[in-house]
């Protein structure tokens, strides 16, 4: 107990003079006298201040521990998302995050991009960011700098089983055909003296095309009697898909109706042909017909349209949609076959042909 001064050991006459004396003598009764400097003796006020400082530091540490616990929970949620993304698409149909993009052209010549993020998981997302990087899929290196842009969207809080909506106003008219790389990341700040880090998850890309502007004008009941017939055979263009590829595209289903519904992103019951209209960048309406035929072990997707240029655009966009979808279904696609790296029609054709060959019997 030599380190402590008990109240009964202090001379009452010296209580008021503790703050001013240079030394104080304390007798321990049966031991030698202890001498301490006045700087070792704290007044009640200084004790209160020291205790207050200690409590403040304790609250700061407690707050920091709570922040680290919350960060650990968020990173755990992120690790689960990453584990789901590492699976093939057939095993993650119930992915907890669902992102949709809608492009709306305004009369002023500008555009509005509407982003919706749905959280169907039992976890709450706090302090995350959503990053969208977009570009046209066929542009030269010179044009690429002007056409690529990135938008980072802060997500303060997204509760479980809720939806987050964000609108991006674009001062220019966005082209209809746009490819979006989507990333979800969480900033990590360990201390003020260290640079912040980020935990990033690459989600499935989103490809907006002319197919997203489609309007069904007629569902054809009989392809023989009611299908629109054009005069020249060169107004028809088709792509052939192996049934194994269709099986993966359509979530383990193989019918003409299911494939047609996947292509036009509409549910069509009991029909393999439709008449449609799409819009281009100038809001011009382009009518066409679409038909799916089963032929042996393959499915023919037949597109009939008078305008050859727009017809080729639709076919190319459909090929890219299939490539993007298959990239996340089959994880063995090599980087050199990545649809994101397409720069011209030849590479698109070669990549798509390579994909078809893998599924032919």
- What residue ranges do the domains of the chain occupy? 89-208, 213-359
User: Given strand 215-219, what is the order of strands in its sheet?
Assistant: 215-219, 273-279, 285-295, 298-304, 236-242
Per-residue pLDDT, 319 = 92
- Give me the average pLDDT of each 10-residue run along the chain (361 residues): 51 51 48 50 77 86 85 86 70 76 85 90 87 66 56 90 90 84 86 82 86 80 44 74 90 88 85 88 89 93 92 92 76 44 62 86 71
Please state, in angstroms and rounded to a whole number, the distance separating the CA atoms of residues 98 and 115.
11
In degrees rounded to 5, what are phi and psi of residue 280? -100, -170
Asked if 343 and 138 touch (Cβ cutoff 8 Å), the reply is: yes
Distance CA(356)–CA(323), nearest Å, equals: 10
Tokens representing residue 42 in the block? 């704290």
89-208: CATH topology is: Immunoglobulin-like (2.60.40)
Q: Which CATH architecture has domain 213-359?
A: 2-Layer Sandwich (3.30)
Residue 142: the pLDDT is 41
pLDDT the model gives residue 332: 43
The confidence score (pLDDT) of residue 189 equals 80
CA triplet 197, 199, 200: central angle to 5 degrees? Answer: 125
Cα–Cα dist 119/77, whole Å:
12
Kindly report the length of the chain: 361
- The answer to whether the beta carbons of residues 246 and 360 sit under 8 Å apart is no
State residue 12 phi and psi, 5-degree precision.
-60, -30
| DSSP letter for each residue of 291-351 | EEEEETTEEEEEEE-S-HHHHHHHHHHHHHHHHHHHHHH-TT--GGG-GGG--SHHHHHHH
């Amino acid at each position: 107990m030599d380190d402590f001064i008990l109240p009964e050991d202090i001379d009452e006459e010296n209580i008021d003079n503790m703050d001013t004396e240079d030394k104080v003598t304390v007798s321990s009764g049966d031991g030698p006298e202890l001498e301490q400097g006045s700087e070792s003796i704290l007044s009640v006020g200084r004790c209160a201040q020291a205790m207050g400082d200690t409590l403040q530091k304790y609250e700061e540490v407690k707050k920091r521990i709570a922040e680290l616990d919350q960060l650990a929970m968020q990173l755990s949620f992120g690790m689960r998302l990453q584990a789901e993304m590492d699976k093939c698409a057939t095993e993650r149909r119930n992915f907890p995050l669902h992102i949709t993009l809608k492009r709306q052209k305004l009369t002023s010549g500008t555009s509005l991009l509407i982003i919706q993020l749905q959280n169907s998981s039992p976890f709450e997302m706090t302090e995350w960011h959503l990053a969208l990087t977009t570009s046209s899929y066929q542009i030269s290196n010179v044009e690429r700098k002007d056409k690529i842009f990135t938008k980072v969207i802060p997500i303060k809080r997204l509760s479980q089983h809720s939806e987050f909506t964000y609108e991006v106003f674009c001062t220019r008219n966005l082209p209809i055909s746009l490819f979006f790389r989507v990333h979800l990341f969480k900033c990590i700040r360990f201390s003020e003296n260290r640079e912040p880090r980020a935990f990033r998850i690459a989600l499935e890309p989103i490809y907006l095309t002319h197919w997203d502007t489609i309007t069904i004008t007629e569902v054809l009941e009989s392809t023989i009697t009611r299908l629109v017939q054009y005069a020249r055979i060169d107004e028809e263009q088709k792509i052939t898909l192996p049934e194994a590829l269709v099986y993966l595209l359509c979530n383990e289903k193989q019918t003409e109706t299911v494939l047609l519904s996947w292509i036009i992103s509409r549910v069509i019951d009991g029909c393999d042909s439709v008449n449609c209209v799409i819009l281009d960048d100038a809001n011009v309406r382009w009518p066409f017909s679409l038909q799916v035929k089963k032929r042996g072990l393959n499915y023919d997707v037949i597109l009939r349209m008078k305008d050859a240029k727009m017809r080729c655009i639709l076919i190319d966009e459909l090929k890219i949609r299939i490539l993007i979808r298959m990239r996340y279904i089959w994880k063995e696609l090599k980087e050199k076959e990545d649809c994101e790296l397409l720069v011209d029609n030849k590479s698109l054709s070669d990549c798509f042909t390579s994909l078809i060959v893998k599924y032919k019997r």
